[in-house]
Amino acid sequence: MLFTGFDFVALVIITLSLYYLQALNRWQVPILIVASLVFYAANQANLLWLLMLSVSINIISSYLVIYGRPDLSRFYASCGVVANLSILCFFKYGPLLSRTFLPADSSLADYLITLPLPIGISFFTFQGISLVVDTYRNRENTQYRSLIAKNLVQHAETVFFFKAFFPQLVAGPIVKAHFFLPQIKRKYWRDINWDKCFRQLVMGYFLKMVIADNLKDHTLLMTYPYFEAYSSLTLLGLLFGYSMQIFADFAGYSLIAMGLAGLFGYEFPINFNFPYIAVSFSDFWRRWHMSLSGFLREYLYIPMGGNRYGALRTYLNLMLTMVLGGLWHGAAWSYAIWGFAHGLALALERLIDTKFPAKPTRIGQFVHGVVVFSYVTVLWLLFKLPNFSHVIAYGQALINNIHKPNDGRVLSLIVLYSLGVIAYHIHHLIQSEVKQPVWKSWDFVGYGLMLFLVLTNSGSGGTFIYFQF
């Protein structure tokens, strides 16, 4: 069941109708839980039990941290985190580890390689870890303790809803417990911010269906062995197009999730803040997939020591955090290389800023921005081609195919469908410069045009890229 399908629209309409029905007002959370189970089962009914297991682990461990023996609260929290990570590692990284370390004819290797990858496992696992860790950290905080009901059934309902709420279940944003739990209360139709939800949904569907879904039909040429037949300029154009596509796809999903959550009275954190105008690598990671970078910083980088133990330890923590963040995206060593490359860029940037502190000029910022965007775009190749040998082959084709004729049609369509992402960022830049709304009175024209294009010029339907993570 995709956000772009009619079956999903039907699910949302039915759920909204029941959710705000006055006679069922007190059953709002159970209604959303049932809808979330239907949504997940429509995608992977055979793995619904795994979601239930994950939820159960977090129900028990978070409850025991508050209401179990106080001297064992650290033990309960540790067990909860380990159990969460064990499920993630087994199902997501079992095949990778078996291919890397086990003999090819091993029966265990054969079993691990055939393991299914549960959609959204990285997202709902990290949310479970957030719940357990936040509960442990705030176990003495009276205000937070009040969010953990003493009635186990009521607590189970809260945790189930927190982990399974369908707008963010399979691709985020990663919502932290201390952000979401205080929002769980009775909601009313009159409180919906219709203008905000409409804008988020229209922009989200436009980015996904008009830009990402059209671009994907052309970036398909980047897969092996098709790319070997194209010129160097065409291959660069395809790489640029994929950079636009992955942003439009994931930012579109996040905006749709935020708009849907708003319809039910809940708020999600912003996940993308115009990342392609970043003027440094650290700035990029403050703008791209903000819920993941925030999670990694709060639950991994800082607990490992952050920047508190000297420069060498800081660089090591940065590198390790980014490598693990890369592996979070996928069970292939190319994702670890992607994370390592970003970690290396962050470490070098930090070193240069420490040794040669300077405030860049406007021209300097522009040059930095071009360098950051180019570096980030080249590294997206590791996402598109998880097989590292194909990445090497693509690089060789970039060098060797310079004399092949360019495919003008492909390049033109990539530029055309990338204009939406470019305009999206430029509009924000202009608005941030003038410090006041730009073309505010003409907003309805822009959103009307986007809605028209969604209805008339959507690409062929496809899953969201981040569903695989």
DSSP 422: H
CA-to-CA distance for 340 and 66, rounded, in angstroms? 38
Taking a C-beta distance cutoff of 8 angstroms, is the pair 458, 209 a contact?
yes
**CB-count burial class (<10 Å; 0-12, 13-18, 19+) for 358:** exposed
Residues in CB range of 166: below 8 A, 6 or more apart = 32, 35, 36, 39, 40, 260
Amino acid at position 275, single letter: P
Handedness of CA 454, 460, 466, 469 (dihedral sign): positive
* Start-to-end Cα distance in the chain: 16
Taking a C-beta distance cutoff of 8 angstroms, is the pair 281, 241 a contact?
no
Cα–Cα nearest to 190, from 268, 265, 261 = 265
Backbone angles phi, psi at 395, to 5 degrees: -60, -40
Amino acid at position 411, single letter: L
Residues in CB range of 60: below 8 A, 6 or more apart = 80
Taking a C-beta distance cutoff of 8 angstroms, is the pair 168, 257 a contact?
yes
CA-to-CA distance for 269 and 175, rounded, in angstroms? 7
> Catalytic residues, which ones?
329
| Radius of gyration in angstroms for the set of CA atoms belonging to the chain, rounded to a whole number | 23
Residue 249 token pair: 């796809």
CA-to-CA distance for 144 and 146, rounded, in angstroms? 5
Residue 230 token pair: 């194209």
